[in-house]
Amino acid sequence: MSVMCWASEQAGRRLPRTYIWATLVCMAGGCTGAARADEGIDAWASWALAPKVWKGQTVQAPELEPRPEADMLHLHSRELPLVLHVPLRSSQRRAAQTLQALERAYVSLNAAGWPLPPLDADGGVDLFVVPRARCAGFASCSGVDGPLTPSDFDAARSYALLASDVPQGELAACVYSALAQAGLRAVDPAESASWVRASAELAVWQQTAGPGCEDSLARGQAQPELGLLSERPGTGDAGALFLAVLSERTAPELVRNLWDTTRQRSRGLVPEDRLRSSPDLWEVLRQTLDVGHIALDDELIEGAVARYFAGPSARRAGAAYRVLAALPSDAAVPLAHDVSLRGGSLHLREHAPLEPLGSAYSRVRLPASESTPERLQVWLRGELGARWSLTAVRLDRSGRELGRTSAPARNVPNSYLPVTLDPETAEVILVVTQLPEQLPDADVRQTAEHGYELILESGP
């Protein structure tokens, strides 16, 4: 496996530090002799110029992947530094449409401030049309074939890849995604694949108002129990939806700006086949929200609850965010339970466990009669080793939200939530989310699945 040598840290030192140190020496010893000061300066110089060692988290440098140049036609944009590489037997019409989509994506992403891949040795940005297997089954991806030098920070020479079997209707969105992924990997080659994919799909949504490459945002709804933005690239689909909701709640440029603050230098501080990976995007996101007095837990819980209001029209009626209202009708999160409560109690325990940042949804239908109970009591019993969030959302018969109640997230695995009902309440949606005990880290394998159970009881 080939690895990269990354840009080195600047070696220059500022003279005022020497002056300050010498002044402190004089203050301590009265400058009784030039020899003592010289010894102090020598000691400081030895410390300042000694190699430093980074003791924080690192990740493996990206594996170098040569650009697939063989047996391809090379189509150059007339006005932009873009080169499209397609198989020899490609349709001329399809190639022309792909090049046009590449030009639109380049102009749009550049105008919005998203990073773009650096120019290669021939002065162009490359998009290669390849078999889907080259992208590990995804419709779009990117590759790295070396470090970008000279550079003050870790940076990569990157290129975009597009699966050759992308449907015509998905062509534009997937070209956007491929180009955005290549630009993000160039900016921070140490960041995880799920964050790269999620951020690129967010860029697609913001620039096209579409649900991502091959409906990635809708695809991320299929298995909400698996969490989001973990070490698995596939969790970038659900992660993109979370980032889209977060951007609507804060600022459209939030995620784009996060990428500018994670850039680092690695050479001389870590082995040549490693890159510094802290602070990563999760760390920077939490710090950014803290500055604005916004709790990351609150945003994660809000994102989890919001995901319910997507898909069929009955759910979209309660959508509070544009991205959820725009998803197709098959983008509903599945229900772990769908029960009717007519008095007495129910014990719900047959469902999938949750991964960190995974969520589960249960619908409790209330009788359409004057005998509607006055209160629903909910007990959550979760396994140790996780923090649990429990939210109850009351809906009317049209699917619109009447109100919600939440039990605060805590390390104690048991929660109790009383829900006051009224005649307008037709159903209650219970949302359970597993919050990690520590800040999520997309570079570390997550194996902490945890089970839980719900106990429901209605009455006066």
Q: What is the tens place of the pLDDT at every residue in 355-364?
A: 999 999 999 9
Name beta bridge partners: 354: 450
**What's residue 20's pLDDT?**
38
The tokens for 159 are 């290129």
pLDDT for res 24: 39
pLDDT of residue 329: 93
Distance between CA atoms of residues 287 and 268, nearest Å = 27
What pLDDT score does 233 carry? Answer: 86
Contacts of 176 (CB under 8 A, 6+ apart): 101, 105, 108, 109, 200, 203, 204, 207, 208, 213
Residue 182, pLDDT score = 96
In eight-state DSSP terms, residue 293 is T
- C-alpha count within 13 angstroms, C-beta hemisphere, residue 4: 28
Report the pLDDT value the prediction gives residue 213, as an integer from 0 to 100: 96
Contacts of 355 (CB under 8 A, 6+ apart): 225, 226, 227, 230, 434, 446, 448, 449
Spell out the domains of the chain, with CATH numbers in brackets. Answer: 59-302 (1.10.390), 335-459 (2.60.120.380)
What pLDDT, on a 0 to 100 scale, did the predictor assign at position 81? 96
pLDDT given for residue 37 in this prediction = 62
CB 387 within 8 A of CB 435: yes
Length of the chain: 460
Q: What per-residue confidence (pLDDT) applies to 370?
A: 59
The whole-number pLDDT of residue 281 equals 92
Beta bridge partners of 427: 365, 395
User: Are residues 198 and 288 in contact, defined by beta-carbon separation less than 8 angstroms?
Assistant: no
Residue 431's pLDDT is 97
Spans of the chain, pLDDT less than 50:
1, 7-30, 32-33
